């Protein structure tokens, strides 16, 4: 195999795959990237950890076709430090990869591509155009509530649902729940127009990385019984769906929280961040004391001290005193751009609901704490 490639193109693709490559080294070849040079002047680059697959195509001057796999991290570091803008890559019959630019030359031992996992078939998938702004918003407003407890695999990802009227994305870690509904996104299809799948966190975040790239272009998404695929230009990301039953989130959302208050989002967020400085490091508990048009936030740590801050709110209900994990509250407030938020409460022991004021599109449920 032999080809010449632009450093900037090579770097862009190699940088993109670094988050996908398997680092635990359970299978040595998963630490590698597959490089396939084709006679039509294209180099295909593929990486996987068996949960997420990514494939990209880069233009190159191909002198000799072939395929090899090479350590993804080392290849990225080599290409990054190369002095010239054009890089020569050559592979001999023993899978030794020679990388040259200017007067620099590297020889890296590769592995034969025959042992590299095959990119999943996409024949059964119907890829449809999606609005990247809507999908980005859905991910940003739910990602922080995904469980990181590996033993609870059924909540280690995003529930994506579609019915006749809207698309929903839901996440939970057992202490909080984030739900966003979009009624104007019509591009994700399922059987008979319905859909309910569990997307793994890592794969969804790779989708978001692709969406966040600044260059323009159309995005396409397809979902089958086992996989979800995003395509943009020559880049394809294929993620394996999670198995298991997501909890019935509709039962978690309180129906009788009749004490409703409105607060300035920026003021509440900044007050919480200040008070949290003196909360106990591990639990980040903050007391909320709600009374007529007034909220008092307080936190304390036996070894450090205590903090109190008072702020104006719009509230005319009964006085309520309760505690929340401040981090959970801050995560949600950081994710919304609205000027005001509404908090709906029942009593000091029941979950609270937070929403952007005047909207039901986004719902955040947070469990109270005992301090």
Specify the DSSP class assigned to residue 118. P
> Domain 253-366 classified CATH 3.10.150.10?
yes
Q: How far apart are CA 339 and CA 322, in angstroms?
A: 24
Burial class (CB in 10 A: 0-12, 13-18, 19+), 177: buried
Residue with the two structure tokens 């993804």: 72
Exposure b/e, 249-284, CB count within 10 A at least 16 = b: beebeeeebebebebbbeebbebbeebbebbeeeeb
> Given this model, what pLDDT does residue 247 score?
95
Sign of CA dihedral 48, 54, 57, 58: negative
What is the bridge-based pairing of β-strands 96-101 and 86-91? antiparallel
CATH architecture of 128-247: Roll (3.10)
Task: Specify whether the CB–CB gap between 364 and 354 falls below 8 A.
Answer: yes
Among candidate residues 86, 223, 232, 235, the one with its CA nearest the CA of residue 160: 223
What is the bridge-based pairing of β-strands 66-71 and 61-64? unpaired
List residues bridging with 239 in a β-sheet.
52, 228
> Given this model, what pLDDT does residue 170 score?
98
32's torsion region: left (phi>0), alpha (psi -120 to 50) or beta? beta
What is the bridge-based pairing of β-strands 235-240 and 176-182? unpaired
272, two tokens: 């919480």
Strands ordered across the beta sheet of 2-6: 61-64, 2-6, 86-91, 96-101, 104-109
> Given this model, what pLDDT does residue 240 score?
95
> Given this model, what pLDDT does residue 186 score?
54
Task: Specify whether the CB–CB gap between 364 and 355 falls below 8 A.
Answer: yes
> Given this model, what pLDDT does residue 282 score?
79
299, two tokens: 């936190």
**Residue range(s) in the chain whose domain bears CATH number 3.10.150.10:** 2-115, 128-247, 253-366
What is the bridge-based pairing of β-strands 42-48 and 52-59? antiparallel
> Given this model, what pLDDT does residue 124 score?
63
> Given this model, what pLDDT does residue 187 score?
55
For 277-337, strand residue ranges (E) read 285-291, 294-301, 305-312, 320-325
Say how many Å lie between the first and final Cα of the chain, rounded: 65
The residues near 236 (Cβ < 8 Å, ≥ 6 apart) are 53, 54, 55, 56, 119, 122, 229, 230
Task: Specify whether the CB–CB gap between 201 and 143 falls below 8 A.
Answer: yes
Per-10-residue mean pLDDT for the chain, 371 residues long?
A: 96 93 82 95 96 96 97 96 94 95 95 94 81 92 95 94 89 97 67 80 94 83 91 94 94 95 98 94 90 97 93 96 96 97 96 96 96 77
Widest Cα–Cα separation across the chain: 79
What is the bridge-based pairing of β-strands 235-240 and 52-59? antiparallel
> Given this model, what pLDDT does residue 23 score?
75
Q: How far apart are CA 184 and CA 166, in angstroms?
A: 7
- Tell me which of 3.30.70.3040, 2.60.120.380, 3.40.720.10, 3.10.150.10 is the CATH number of domain 2-115: 3.10.150.10
> Given this model, what pLDDT does residue 257 score?
96
pTM (two decimals): 0.91
């Amino acid at each position: 195999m032999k080809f010449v490639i632009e450093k900037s193109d090579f770097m862009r693709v190699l940088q993109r795959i670094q988050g996908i490559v398997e680092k635990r080294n359970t299978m040595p070849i998963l630490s590698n990237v597959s490089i396939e040079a084709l006679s039509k002047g294209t180099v295909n680059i593929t990486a996987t950890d068996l949960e997420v697959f990514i494939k990209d195509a880069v233009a190159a001057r191909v002198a000799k076709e072939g395929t090899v796999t090479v350590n993804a991290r080392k290849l990225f570091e080599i290409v990054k430090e190369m002095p010239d803008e054009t890089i020569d890559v050559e592979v001999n019959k023993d899978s030794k990869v020679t990388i040259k630019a200017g007067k620099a030359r590297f020889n890296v031992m590769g592995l034969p591509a025959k042992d590299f996992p095959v990119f999943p078939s996409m024949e059964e998938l119907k890829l449809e155009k999606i609005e990247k702004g809507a999908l980005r918003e859905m991910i940003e407003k739910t990602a922080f509530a995904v469980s990181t407890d590996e033993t609870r695999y059924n909540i280690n990802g995003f529930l994506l649902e579609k019915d006749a009227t809207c698309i929903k994305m839901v996440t939970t870690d057992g202490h909080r729940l984030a739900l966003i509904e979009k009624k104007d996104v019509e591009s994700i299809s399922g059987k008979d127009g319905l859909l309910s799948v569990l997307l793994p966190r890592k794969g969804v975040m790779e989708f978001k990385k692709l969406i966040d790239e600044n260059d323009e272009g159309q995005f396409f998404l397809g979902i089958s019984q086992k996989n979800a695929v995003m395509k943009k230009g020559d880049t394809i990301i294929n993620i394996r769906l999670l198995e298991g039953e997501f909890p019935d989130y509709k039962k978690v959302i309180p129906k009788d929280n009749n004490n409703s208050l409105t607060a300035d989002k920026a003021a509440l967020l900044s007050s919480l961040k200040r008070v949290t400085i003196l909360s106990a490091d591990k639990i980040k508990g903050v007391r909320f004391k709600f009374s007529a048009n007034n909220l008092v936030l307080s936190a304390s740590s036996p070894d450090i001290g205590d903090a109190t801050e008072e702020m104006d709110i719009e509230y005319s209900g009964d006085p309520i005193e309760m505690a929340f994990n401040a981090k959970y509250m801050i995560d949600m407030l950081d994710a919304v751009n609205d000027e005001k938020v509404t908090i709906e409460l029942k009593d000091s022991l029941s979950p609270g609901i937070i929403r952007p004021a005047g909207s039901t599109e986004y719902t955040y449920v947070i469990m109270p704490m005992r301090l």
